[in-house]
Structure 1
Amino acid sequence: MTIELSAATFKLADQAALSPAQQQLEQTLLTFIREHRQQPKTGLFVIHGDAGTGKSAVLAAAFSRLQALSRSQTPNDLQGTENYLVVNHNEMLKIYKRLAGEDPNLRKKDFQKPTPLINRLAKTATPADVVFIDEAHLLLTQPDRYNKFTGQNQLTELIKQCRVVVLVFDTRQVLKLKSYWQTSDLAPFLAKYPQQTFNLDEQFRVTGNASVINWIDQFTQGQLLPRPQDANFDFRIFADGQPMYDLIRQRDQQVALSRLIATADFPYVVNHGTWYVTAGSLKIPWDKVNLTDDPWALRPETLNEVGSIYTIQGFDLNYAGVILGPSVGYDAASDAIIVRPERYEDQEAFKKRDDLGQLTPLKSQLIFNSINVLMKRGRYGLYLYAVDPALRQRLLAL
């Protein structure tokens, strides 16, 4: 198996590298924009796809093409349009801004977080032509004082300010109650506005075969399958965290972009010293607040840290060592994976909401979503260590 060194942590491919389905999506998307940009109602284009199906890659390629037409000196129907790409994720925003420095069609100001863009467009009362929203499942669905968002729903506010909205949406990557979405929550928007949907279902990140993908999918729904077999994908289960970390370090030296990542099951307080993740004999710091312009996975020193769902969501790694913390357990009677929300340390993710009914099953789903995000990071290998002794023994016995 030949492994290419990756220069970025999600594949922002050129046109030649896009798959036939991605190329079809790009063409369909630009046609939709042309048809709906001057209509009286905002047009909505929704892209669905699981983690690793190349949503960000095709979105970036289409946005670059749109901006090339907007800034072209040759007259065309999209010349002079005002367009933005929005993502509610600091680390992904850094990658997009880095992309802007490498692409003559792009500017750093083209890429925004949602709240500043919403507030600026509302203040100027001038609508944008097209707004692309990557990871739209991270948009807020309630007011958030910390993020200075006073509206009820960020998607609602963006639709008010734009002629066409293109959004990438995957409910299996929702990680917090304050941005809680389920597929049915899109229905009122789709019923109210002219819309089109496109599904990406080919896995581009994880190179493992169908048995590997199915094993992960079933695990994140609570079910255990026999250990998947794939000679070209390195899938391993460890009895201790230290040898897993040693192998990750070795892989990073060989091919780069190999990191430890973990469920949010270990104490952490922002800007209050160093906090640690414990995995058997391994004790290693959580990721630090990243004030640099470089995304977490691209910084060499982060090989000595453990990444969280918030630093790794949306990115490619070559090899991922995943630590399943105390909230992830095993029920022998049903031979099933269980989760324990009371053991989950990211209680900010469970911030109380009165409009969602019974929260316990939703909290469990958020934990399973986080596991799905973590397990689908590694392109060429997935290594697992479970803190819970019963789960660890069951995995080792597969």
Structure 2
Amino acid sequence: MTSSEIIRLPFDRAELAVWSRSGDKRVSNWPVVYILDDDTQTAVGKKKREQRRKIYVGESLNVAARMRQHLASIERSRLTNLRVIIDDTFNKSVCLHLESYLIELLSGDGAFEVLNRNDGIVDADYYNRAFYQDRFDEIFHQLKMAGVFTRTIPEIINSDLFKLSPFKSLTDDQAFAVEGVVKSLFDDLRSNDRSTTVIQGDPGTGKTVVAIYLLKLLADIRSSTDLDALDDDGDSLFSEFFTDEHRMLLRDLRIGFVIPQQSLRKSVQKVFRKTPGLDPTMVMTAFEVGESEHDFDLLIVDETHRLNQRANQPAATLNAKFRDITTKLFGQDDTSKTQLDWIKARSTHQIFLVDPAQSVKPADIPIELLQQLVADAKAADHHHPLLSQMRVRAGSDYVGHVRRMLGVATESGAQPPASVPDFGDYDFRMFDDVSAMRAEIVHRDREVGLSRLVAGYAWEWKTKGNKPGHDIEIGDFRMRWNSTQTDWTASPGSLGEVGSIHTVQGYDLNYAGVIIGPDLLFDTTTGRIVVDRASYFDKKGKEANKALGRVYSDDDLLWYIQNVYAVLLTRGIRGTYIYVHDPALREHLRPLVSLP
């Protein structure tokens, strides 16, 4: 078996001319992948911040001619190093795959500013693909030894920077959603019509990935030039949008990205800080939108179901802000107005990413408003469903099984399952001993990383503010709640802590160990799952809404807690482990979960 050769040259006309005359036919007539980068590092300001190196990855059948084109580009002519990856067995399909593979990993590594557009990322099948994937790993190792990568592949793919990267190959339904959204957006921009679009999907269908991909695609269209046509391999579903007309339509557009959850918002801001065309200031709270001095042309809202209605906020200052923003936008303090109304009032076009079944507390937008939002988008032909399960490697029925298992009512009215379906190699297990489950999570973390314990909010947060002690006590088992709410899954002490819904919603784990606490019980008399209000310690998750004069019943609370556990049980990519505190509920669920 031959190995791939990586040729390194200075990126200048003289060196390229010498190489072109070398007689190697692969210079002008062979499929190759190439990497251009800049090794310049500049100290700036008092803190001597390191200027991030830039990198570009491409593929070509005539690399010598392609380099002459790049030298004509102002931005790319500033790059200094050229690496050409040559293999006698490469063909066009292999090169397209390797190009995409390297771009995704470079974006997730974060050491370079990746200059590529994101519309050329492909993941097509082709002959002998498995063989070439092994070859790619060898190429990665060579590039890492040369300093192109700074982390290993497992370290990269477990990072939020990789998981939230705009450089992703999309599933068919994700690609169709992006194409439909962009097409209708340009139609609405031409006609000066207002528009509301909904992208709807279950946990793990990639709603956040689609939102970030959309933002990067729009940024690339807006900044594109005629020379960028050489990036287009002709296979991109979105090539048609890179035109002068579309560029002009986007030229002065004010765009914002609204993310209600603090932890996810901070992670996305880190990604935007490292992505050309995107800026962390684009990532906002609904409050920041309401207080902005400017209206927006387009607002994309992730996790729309976590926007707030009028309710008691975590801080008194936010209660005052809610009142002031509503008064400013609508002329009076109308308590029926929600943050959804703010978004619509402050923007001409909105794209909402939503899953009504992920509302987890009474302050969230009421489900009837979300259902109306979806219905209106469908009526306007602005509704795009996401169906493919991208997170959980257990097939598309896993999410439905979890929801039915927990007794969550579904739109289809499906009955609770009688047994666990065949989830293939997915590791879905119930544990009778929570300490044994913790030991397995620690083992999995050593094996593949990013394995964590999570739980429902069924224990008081006594250690808040890093006070000493433990929060969750089950027999001899003693652990603390998450010590941070920002980027908890990647924080140094997270393996020794238990994460709550507020730290993991929107995130992936390789393995999730879920503790179903005493807030959920099984009533053997009625045969129903019920709530124990006294064992639910999320104060904002059960308090009465004085502003709207609403008190939440046990049935209302049950619905939110079921949603909480449904979210927790759909975090694990490779496996989900379950410990159930209530013995009766454990026995009820046992036939629905594989045994160790």
TM-score, normalised to structure 1, is: 0.89
Q: Distance in 1 between matches of 2:482 and 2:167?
A: 34
Q: More deviation in 302-311 or 104-113?
A: 104-113
The 1:210–1:53 alpha-carbon spacing in structure 2 relative to 1, beyond 3 Å, is: closer
Q: Which amino acid aligns with 1:242?
A: S
Q: Which amino acid aligns with 2:569?
A: M
Give the CA deviation at 1:80: 2.7
TM superposition shift of 1:268:
1.4
Asked if 1:217 corresponds to 2:374, the answer is no
What residue in structure 2 maps to residue 377 of structure 1? 571
Distance 1:36 1:162 in 2: 13
Q: 1:337 to 1:228 in 2, by over 3 A?
A: farther
Which amino acid in structure 1 is aligned with residue 322 of structure 2? F
Q: How far has the Cα of 1:206 moved from its partner?
A: 0.9
279 and 200 in structure 1: CA distance in 2 versus 1, 3 angstrom threshold? farther
Where in structure 2 are the equivalents of 1:1-398 lying within 5 Å?
5-8=157-160, 11-12=163-164, 17-37=169-189, 42-72=194-224, 75=244, 76=247, 77-120=249-292, 124=293, 126-142=294-310, 144=312, 146=315, 147=318, 148-150=321-323, 151=326, 152-187=337-372, 196-209=382-395, 212-221=398-407, 223=416, 225-268=418-461, 270-271=464-465, 273-274=467-468, 275-290=470-485, 295-353=487-545, 354=548, 359-396=553-590
The structure with the largest alpha-carbon Rg is 2
Contact 2:356 / 2:370 at 8 angstroms: preserved in 1? no
What is the alpha-carbon distance in structure 2 between the residues aligned to residue 52 and residue 96 of structure 1? 17
Q: Give % identity.
A: 25
CA contact (8 A) 2:508 2:572 kept: yes
**Following the alignment from structure 1 to structure 2, what is the Cα–Cα distance between the partners of residues 119 and 186?**
27
For residues 28-87 of structure 1, the C-alpha deviation after alignment (integer angstroms, 9 at most, x for no partner) is 111122122365553100111111111111111011111223344665121231111110
Q: Could you report, residue by residue, the CA deviation over 1:94-118 in whole angstroms, capped at 9, with x for unpaired residues? A: 1211111231121111111110122
Residues in 2 aligned to 1:356 and 1:196: alpha-carbon distance in whole angstroms: 33
1:144 CA drift (Å)? 4.8
Kept after mapping to 2: 8 A contact 1:235/1:382: yes
Q: Give the direction of change, closer, same or farther, for the CA distance of 1:155–1:316 in structure 2 (3 Å limit).
A: same
Task: Summarize deviations over 1:207-231 as a string: whole Å, max 9, x none.
Answer: 1135644431212325453234434
SS at match of 1:365: helix
Separation in 1, partners of 2:162, 2:542:
28
Q: Distance in 2 between matches of 1:16 and 1:307?
A: 27
Aligned partner of residue 160 in structure 2, secondary structure: coil
Following the alignment from structure 1 to structure 2, what is the Cα–Cα distance between the partners of residues 280 and 386? Answer: 13
Between 258-267 and 192-201, report the one with greater CA deviation. 192-201
- Inter-CA distance 367–163: structure 2 relative to 1 (3 Å threshold): same
Output the CA distance in 2 between the equivalents of 1:323 and 1:355.
Answer: 33
Q: What is the aligned residue count? A: 390
**Greater relative contact order structure (CA < 8 Å, 6+ sep):** 1
**Mean alpha-carbon deviation: is it higher for 58-67 or for 352-361?**
352-361
Change in CA separation of 1:371 and 1:10 when aligned onto 2, cut-off 3 Å: farther
Secondary structure at 1:17 match in 2: coil
The question of whether the paired residues in 1 share the 8 Å contact of 2:310 and 2:363 is answered with yes
* Structure 1 portions without partners, runs of 5+: none
**Which consecutive residues of structure 2, in runs of 5 or more, have no partner in the other structure?**
1-132, 134-152, 227-243, 327-336, 409-415
RMSD across aligned C-alpha pairs, in angstroms?
2.7
Inter-partner Cα distance in structure 1 for 2:556 and 2:187 = 38
Distance 1:144 1:338, change over 3 A: closer
Instruction: Report the Cα distance in structure 2 between the residues aligned to 1:140 and 1:195, rounded to whole angstroms.
Output: 26
